[in-house]
């Protein structure tokens, strides 16, 4: 099974197949407008600008499960991204990433790229772990998405390559994206 087996809902309510992105390197991100990690939209847009001509796409999935940091409508979430961060990559309808109502896509992503732990040398990671342990300790167990801006790199075959946690800055793994994009372009 690959991510091409899943469908997602666009902001306008249309349902599309992720098979529409076949052959592209993808970065899937659960996002929120009112999160301390929201400024990552800037770096995500920089990555998109840098690699989009090389069969690369970022897909953003707003989620209100973490501190209710995406309380608005689908349209408000998309508008926020475009107006405040100049986002040009697709922002989809809000969905859930954890629990009984987690979207099947995110269930698949978590199975394919389990949680690798918190980097105890990173202050943001320590603070995130502390906050989660106080507010939602059940999220510390297993492979659940720990917070907004968890990112998944998908290769051109629809396979999950790697999971990046919220505290990992998008520009820090640009080399992974470049490697994946180069590999897929060589195999065309």
The catalytic residues are: 35
Q: Are strands 7-9 and 15-17 parallel, antiparallel or unpaired?
A: antiparallel
Taking the C-alpha atoms of residue 153 and residue 165, their distance in angstroms, rounded to an integer, is: 11
């Amino acid at each position: 099974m690959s991510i091409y087996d899943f469908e997602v809902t666009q902001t306008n309510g249309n349902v599309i197949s992720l098979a529409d992105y076949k052959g592209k390197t993808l970065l899937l991100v659960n996002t929120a407008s009112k999160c301390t990690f929201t400024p990552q939209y800037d770096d995500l847009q920089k990555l998109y600008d840098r690699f989009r001509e090389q069969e690369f796409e970022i897909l953003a999935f707003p989620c209100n499960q973490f501190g209710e940091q995406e309380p608005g409508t689908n349209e408000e979430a998309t508008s926020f991204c475009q107006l405040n961060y100049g986002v040009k990559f697709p922002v989809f309808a809000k969905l859930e990433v954890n629990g009984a109502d987690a979207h099947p896509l995110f269930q698949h992503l978590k199975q394919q790229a389990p949680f690798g732990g918190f980097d105890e040398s990173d202050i943001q990671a320590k603070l995130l772990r502390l906050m989660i342990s106080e507010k939602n300790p059940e999220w510390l167990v297993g492979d659940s998405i720990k917070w907004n801006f968890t990112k998944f790199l998908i290769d051109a075959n629809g396979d999950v390559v790697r999971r990046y946690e919220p505290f990992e800055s998008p520009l820090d793994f640009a080399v992974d994206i470049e490697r994946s994009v180069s590999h897929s372009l060589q195999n065309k």
